[in-house]
Amino acid sequence: MGWQFNFMGAGIDAYDQGARMGLSAVNTVSYDAADPAATMAVFSDRAARTQAFARGAEANMEFTPQEKRAAKDRFDPSNKKPAEASKPRSSRRAIVDDIRL
């Protein structure tokens, strides 16, 4: 099973910061901290997913498109137009190249 890391950013472009730490977009979410329902959704979804992962009922901790919509994630690169999505997220090299235990 091993370790899996998620990055949750409150109202920021968490994808840019997550990429700097070596995290992929599927393991990142940016939730609308000004919206109590979005905040509650992202934290309750993560709690349920963590429990399922720990039991072996989930193979990974990736954020689903439904979770990102519920979080009101406006930075999700999968929602960008193709030309926007192909732009590099950051010119800085990731701090961590690979996290495997």
Give tens-digit pLDDT for 16-28. Answer: 999 999 999 999 9
Give tens-digit pLDDT for 38-50. Answer: 999 999 999 999 9
Task: Kindly tell me if the per-residue pLDDT of 92 is higher than 70.
Answer: no
| pLDDT mean over 76-101 | 60
DSSP count for the chain of H helices, then E strands: 4, 2
pTM for the model stands at: 0.75
38, amino acid identity: A
Tell me the C-alpha distance between 21 and 46, whole Å: 20
